Structures are given as C-alpha cells and as structure tokens.
C-alpha cells in the first residue's frame, strides 16, 4: 500500500512538472505566427469572405490563458462600397487557468478596441450581411441534420456547465456602426460607441454603462441588469436602466423579467421625464411631423405607468400622461392580440383640441382645395372594418373640460362597449353653455357599409353663444331644448344624406332671430318700402317661443309645422327639403299682429296674412309671395296695402307690381343667404 502511494505521488509530481513546463515553454518555443495563414484560410472558408489579421499575435498560457490579436478584417461582399464589413483594431482576452479545473471561470480582461461594422443594402435589395458562411453540400446538410437531431435528444437540465463566473474588465471601446440603405436612401451612423460591464457574475446584478453618438447626437444607457443565476432563463432578471438621448429625452425603466425561458412575463415601472418632442425632432435634424394650429403645442410630454404582461396580454396601470398643460390618468388592459380584447378607463382634466388640429385654411382658394380634397377622399377606397369586427372593447372616458371646434364642453362622460362589429355608446353626456346633453348611440360594422343610430336629448342650452363659437355667426338666441332620434348608413356624406331617417324637435324659448327686425318693419310702414333710415344696431326679431318639429325618411326632411310666436308676428312654416337634391319646398304663413297689447295671447288677432313660398336650392333659394294663396284666403286689410302702394308712388320711385311690393314689405321675414 505504501509503495502504491509512493509511486502515485511520484507520478503525480512528474505530471504536474510536465504541465508547468508546457505552460512555461510552449509560448516561448511554439511559433504562433506559423498558424496565422492557416487561421486566415479557415475563417475565409467558413465565412465566404476574405479574412486577415495583423502580425501582432500574443499567446499566454500561465498563470493566465490569453490571446491578443490586432488588425482583424472581415471583407465585404462584392458590389458593396466599404472594403470591410467588420474590422477590429485590437482584441484581447485573458482568464485564469487553475479555477478552470473546478469549473470556475475568472476572466481578467475582455477588450474589443475600435470595432467597426459597415452594414449596406444595395439598390437590388440585397444586404452585405446575407449569405455569410460556407456553401453547404447535400451530405453536409444530412450530417448537420443528424447532428441537430442528436443534440435535440440529449437531455438538458438548464444548468450552466460552470460553477461561477467572474469578469474583471469587459470593455468595447470606440465602436462604429454604419448603416446605408440604397433602396430608401436612409443613412444612419453610431459612433464613439463605448460599453463597459462591471461586477459580472452569476449571482450579482451586472453594471452597464454605454455611451454613443447617433448621427452625431449623444445617447447613453446606464444601470444594472441581473443576476442571471446559475440556471439562466429560470430565474427572474431584474432591470434598473436609464436611457438618455440628445440631451432631451430621459427614460427610466425598473422592474423584472419573470422566468425569461418559462413564463416570459414582465413587471416594469416606466417613467419618461418631461421633454419637448419639438426639440427632440430638431435635435435629430428632422422636421416636426405634425402641423398644429398652435405652434407651441406638443412642447411638453411626460409619462409614468406600470407595465405588466406577457406575449398574450399587457396591462398598463397607474398611468399618468402629461401633454403640455393637460394631465391624463389611465388604465389599459389588452389581451388576445389575434382577436384584440381591449379595456380602458381614461380621465382627462382638461384639453383644448383645437390647438392640435391643422391650421385653418385661409381664403377662397383654400376652401376650394379643401372641397376638392374632400371629394377625392369620398371617392377613395372603402374602409376595411375587418379589424373592428374582431375587436372586443369596453372603455370609459371622462373629461373635466375640453374645447373642440371652438365649442367649450364640460363634464364629458362616455362609455363604449363593442363586440363582433357592434358598438354601443351608452351613456354619452356633457354640459355646455349652461345646458346639458344626454345621448346614446350605436355603430354597426358587421356589413360592408356601417350603420349608425343615435338619440339626443338637450336641455337649457344657450343657443346664441353656442352658434357664435361654433360657426362664428349670430343667427338665433334663446334657451334651446332638443330631442331627436336619427339613423344613417354609410361613411361618406353622400351616403349619409341619402339614408338619413328619424325625427325630432327643436325648441327655443325667450330668444331672438338675429339679422331680421320684423317688429320695426311693422311699426314703420315706410321701412317696408325702403324709405326709413337704417339703424346702426344689428336688426333682430324677439320671440317668446320657436318650435321646429321635423322628420326624415331616406334623406327627405319634412317640417310639418314650425311655429314662431313674437310680439308682433306669428309664423308657421311647412314643407320639405331633400338633402341629396338640396332643394327647398316650403310655405310660410306670417300673421302680423296689430298691437303689442295681449302679447302671448293664443286668440286670433286681426292683421295682414301674406303667405310666402320658399323654393330653389341651398345655393340659390327663392322667396316669393304666394299671391294665389293670399287671394284664396281673403285680404282683410286692403286699405293698408293701398296706402303703402300710394306712399311708394308719391315718393317718385318706379312703379312696381303688387308682387314686388309685397316682397319688399315682407323682405325681413326670411333670413338672407348670408345669414
């Protein structure tokens, strides 16, 4: 036994001496330059590209196993501009020998100095990074398949074949990545690329510090990631990273990747510090992609949210989006991306949407341009509603105050749900101009042409300020009450007008028709024939009540009897208008009350009945007295008409027909085209 131990120790000692001798002597006596042509030839053969490296090759074995190479060049494919696709000025790696015996890897240095990558895409669409590798023969393919099958059958427990990993210095210095696309003309370049990894191990987070310039603009990434763990992919990986770009954008991401090779889920907190999109685009040397009415809009954006999810579902919670001076809190859940199931809850404090719309066109030429653009849009390809038919939607929106089309709205609330192409909007409510609106709607896109149906109930709205803000015109004043139910089919204005069906009623109380002064006309008969001086004040006709009922059937709108009750006049309008043909067919029956006494009384009063016919088109309406109807009903105050005719005759004016005189008398009853 003692002899065995003795000879074992002697044999082990001799073996150790041989190893040490080899480690010390091999680098001294082995000419590594001898193998340089062989290495270059082998790499060229395996990549299909020319390969060369400098003569400065250093090999070490003990106490560090290391290699140092210089001037490494991997050639470019034929037909591309750059001489090399990849080049490296210096590459060095050194690791300890003895820890390898116990499956521990200790790397002292891993340095890649001045790596350069030239990526190109030619005009024919081919890229220089394609088809790298040797030409595979059929036998090689079969052998490769067998090898792959063999490897697939080998069991793996997911553990690394090492016990530990420690890296002292890991650096990539002064890197460059150039990308050129001859097809699109796009060129991008990353320069001054420096990457440093610290505290590299399996059990600790790895420090990351990256700095570079994108097209000359600074970009940096700093933070930590890990630990990777002894079973990579099975343990959570924690991230804490901050990305900064162009001295304007700062993005902080913290959280974890849960079981990267298993559950593949994320739980992250995302924070984007306030920045200016306009300054960011200017820093990139790019024009701002959005033309807004307010040139200062989109000057401040910030975001905070918690992101949780996987490849099958994503959830955004505790969200806060800052857009200029508006703040939006949000909660969003999305899943089943092949058939999207989307749920959201949005709360916005206030916003002026007009700031973010394109500037208004100015002048007649612009108006014509807009009209022609609208015609082109109407004739364009129909909308594909396939994605909407797949969508499952349940969303709520609340807005404290908003401005849209110059109309101010408060307490906007909407809830929309949808499935299989059928969407319900219930409720939709808002307050505006001292009144309120409650509405319900339905959008059905199950067929080729969408159909829409909605009901509206409005109360207490001040019509004057609303119209002044909405269309910049003063047409009518008073407190408005409205209720209507309308349905339509199609997405173009022509289809909507052709299919419009429904009914409703508009009611105005204690208001006025602006631009018409019927009362003044009645008080001073001379004004009816153009002899009175015009007042500096804008004419108006006050009324106690104006009611306009209507119904629509496939674009034909019928008004069975609109009534206006005013101190000196009563009006009733009946007739139809066709939205597609844009024609008018109305009859107006005014009754001029003789005195203000008894205003608001429902009893019949004496006066002058002069019916009017309103025909023609929207662009060229025609208003004329209905003389036949007037004669048929009788004229109770013929002396008044005679007096007016005599007054006009004695003034020296030309003689006119009874029809022309009557039109002049009642010219203020109907609004002009400009009104």
pLDDT of the residue at 518: 57
Q: Identify the CA nearest to 45 among candidates 140, 120, 125, 113.
A: 140
- Residue 210 covered by a domain: yes
- Residue 6 covered by a domain: no
Question: In angstroms, rounded to a whole number, what is the distance separating the alpha carbons of residues 522 and 473?
Answer: 26
Q: How many alpha carbons lie under 13 Å from residue 326 in its C-beta half-sphere?
A: 20
- Residue 519 covered by a domain: yes
Kindly tell me the sign of the dihedral angle through the C-alpha atoms of 159, 162, 163, 164. negative
Among 230, 259, 287, identify where a domain stops. Answer: 230
Among 214, 230, 246, identify where a domain stops. Answer: 230
Residue 527 structural domain:
504-675
Question: In angstroms, rounded to a whole number, what is the distance separating the alpha carbons of residues 119 and 130?
Answer: 10
Among 184, 201, 230, identify where a domain stops. Answer: 230
Contacts of 130 (CB under 8 A, 6+ apart): none
pLDDT of the residue at 260: 81
Beta carbons of 574 and 559 less than 8 angstroms apart: yes
- Residue 648 covered by a domain: yes
- Residue 664 covered by a domain: yes
Q: How many CB atoms lie within 10 A of CB 375?
A: 11
Assign 511 to helix, strand or coil: strand
Contacts of 35 (CB under 8 A, 6+ apart): none
Long-range contacts of 560-569 (CB under 8 A, 24+ apart): 564/513, 565/600, 566/518, 566/519, 566/541, 566/542, 567/519, 567/542, 567/593, 567/596, 567/599, 568/518, 568/519, 568/522, 568/523, 568/592, 568/593, 568/596, 569/518, 569/519, 569/522, 569/541, 569/593, 569/669
Alpha-helix residue ranges (DSSP H) falling in 510-556: 518-523, 525-528
* pTM (2 d.p.): 0.73
Q: Identify the CA nearest to 242 among candidates 267, 256, 272, 222.
A: 222
Question: In angstroms, rounded to a whole number, what is the distance separating the alpha carbons of residues 276 and 253?
Answer: 20
pLDDT of the residue at 354: 93
pLDDT of the residue at 39: 85
Q: What is the tens place of the pLDDT at every residue in 637-667? A: 455 445 444 444 444 444 444 444 444 433 4
pLDDT of the residue at 658: 40
Beta carbons of 539 and 668 less than 8 angstroms apart: yes
Beta carbons of 171 and 111 less than 8 angstroms apart: yes
Place of tokens 């008073």: 478
Taking CA atoms, 493 is separated from 40, 375, 498, in Å, by: 71, 10, 9
Q: How many domains does the chain have?
A: 2
- Residue 652 covered by a domain: yes
Secondary structure, 3-state, 344-364: EEEEEEEEEHHHHCCCCCCHH
Question: In angstroms, rounded to a whole number, what is the distance separating the alpha carbons of residues 594 and 98?
Answer: 119
Beta carbons of 501 and 484 less than 8 angstroms apart: no
Q: Which tokens is 156 given?
A: 């793996």
Dihedral-angle region of residue 598 (phi above 0 means left; psi in -120 to 50 means alpha; beta otherwise): left
DSSP-assigned beta bridge partners for residue 479 = 462, 509
Alpha-helix residue ranges (DSSP H) falling in 524-637: 525-528, 627-633
Secondary structure, 3-state, 465-493: HHHHHHHCCCCEEEEEEEEEEEEEECCCH
- Residue 450 covered by a domain: no
The ranges of the chain with pLDDT < 50 are: 1, 4-9, 11-25, 29, 138, 148, 151-155, 364-378, 522-532, 596-607, 634-637, 640-641, 643-675
Alpha-carbon Rg of the chain, whole angstroms? 42
pLDDT of the residue at 20: 46
State the DSSP code for 600. T
Assign 116 to helix, strand or coil: strand
By CB atoms closer than 10 A (0-12, 13-18, 19+), residue 198 is middle
């Amino acid at each position: 036994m003692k002899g065995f131990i003795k000879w074992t120790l002697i044999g082990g000692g001799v073996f150790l001496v041989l190893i040490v001798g080899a480690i010390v002597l091999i680098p001294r006596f082995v000419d590594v330059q001898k193998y340089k042509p062989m290495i270059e030839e082998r790499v060229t053969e395996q990549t299909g590209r020319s390969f060369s490296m400098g003569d400065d090759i250093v090999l070490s074995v003990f106490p560090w196993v290391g290699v140092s190479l210089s001037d490494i060049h991997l050639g470019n494919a034929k037909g591309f501009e750059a001489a090399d696709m990849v080049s490296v000025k210096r590459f060095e790696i050194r690791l300890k020998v003895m820890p390898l015996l116990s499956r521990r890897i200790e790397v002292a240095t891993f340095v890649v100095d001045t790596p350069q990558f030239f990526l190109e895409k030619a005009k024919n669409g081919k890229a220089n990074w394609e088809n790298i590798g040797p030409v595979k023969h059929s036998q090689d393919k079969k052998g490769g398949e067998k090898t792959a099958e063999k490897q697939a059958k080998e069991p793996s427990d997911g553990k690394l074949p090492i016990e530990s990993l420690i890296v002292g210095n890991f650096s990539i210095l002064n890197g460059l990545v150039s990308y050129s696309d001859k097809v699109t003309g796009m060129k991008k370049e990353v320069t001054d690329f420096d990457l440093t990894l610290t505290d590299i191990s399996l059990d600790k987070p790895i420090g990351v510090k990256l700095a570079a310039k994108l097209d000359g603009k600074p970009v940096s990434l700093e933070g930590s990631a890990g630990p990777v763990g002894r079973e990579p992919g099975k343990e959570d990986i924690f991230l804490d990273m901050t990305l900064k770009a162009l001295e304007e954008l700062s993005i902080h991401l913290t959280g974890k990747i849960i079981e990267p090779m298993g559950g593949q889920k994320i739980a992250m907190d995302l924070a984007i510090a306030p920045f200016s999109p306009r300054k960011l685009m200017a820093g990139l040397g790019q024009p701002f992609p959005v033309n807004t009415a307010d040139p200062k809009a989109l000057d401040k954006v910030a975001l905070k949210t918690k992101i949780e999810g996987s490849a099958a579902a994503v959830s955004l919670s505790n969200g806060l989006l800052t857009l200029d001076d508006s703040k939006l809190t949000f909660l969003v859940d999305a899943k089943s991306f092949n058939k999207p199931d989307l749920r959201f809850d949005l709360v916005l404090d206030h916003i002026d949407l007009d700031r973010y719309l394109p500037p208004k066109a100015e002048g007649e030429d612009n108006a014509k341009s807009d009209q022609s653009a609208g015609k082109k849009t109407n004739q364009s390809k129909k909308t594909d509603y396939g994605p909407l038919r797949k969508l499952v939607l349940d969303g709520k929106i609340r807005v404290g105050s908003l401005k849209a089309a110059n109309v101010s709205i408060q307490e906007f609330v909407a809830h929309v749900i949808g499935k299989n192409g059928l969407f319900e909007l219930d409720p939709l409510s808002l307050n505006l101009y001292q009144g309120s609106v409650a509405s319900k709607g339905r959008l059905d896109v199950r067929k080729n042409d969408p159909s829409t149906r909605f009901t509206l109930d409005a109360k207490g709205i001040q019509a004057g300020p609303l119209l002044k803000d909405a269309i910049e015109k003063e047409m009518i004043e008073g407190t408005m009450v409205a209720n209507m139910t309308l349905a339509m089919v199609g997405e173009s204005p022509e289809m909507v007008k052709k299919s419009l069906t429904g009914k409703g009623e508009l009611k105005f109380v204690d208001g006025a028709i602006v631009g018409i002064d019927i009362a003044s006309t009645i008080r001073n008969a001379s004004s009816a024939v153009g002899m009175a001086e015009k007042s500096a004040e804008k004419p108006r006709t006050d009324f106690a009540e104006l009611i306009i009922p209507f119904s629509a059937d496939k674009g034909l709108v019928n008004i069975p009897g609109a009534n206006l009750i005013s101190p000196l006049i009563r009006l009733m309008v009946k007739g139809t208008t066709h939205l597609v043909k844009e024609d008018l067919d109305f009859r107006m029956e005014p009754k001029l009350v003789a005195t203000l006494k008894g205003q608001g009384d429902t009893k019949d009063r004496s006066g002058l009945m002069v019916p009017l016919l309103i025909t023609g088109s929207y662009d060229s309406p025609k208003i004329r007295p209905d003389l036949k109807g007037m004669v048929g009903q009788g004229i109770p105050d013929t002396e008044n008409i005679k007096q007016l005719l005599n007054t006009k005759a004695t003034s020296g004016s030309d003689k006119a027909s009874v029809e022309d005189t009557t039109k002049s008398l009642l010219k203020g009853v109907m609004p002009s085209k400009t009104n």
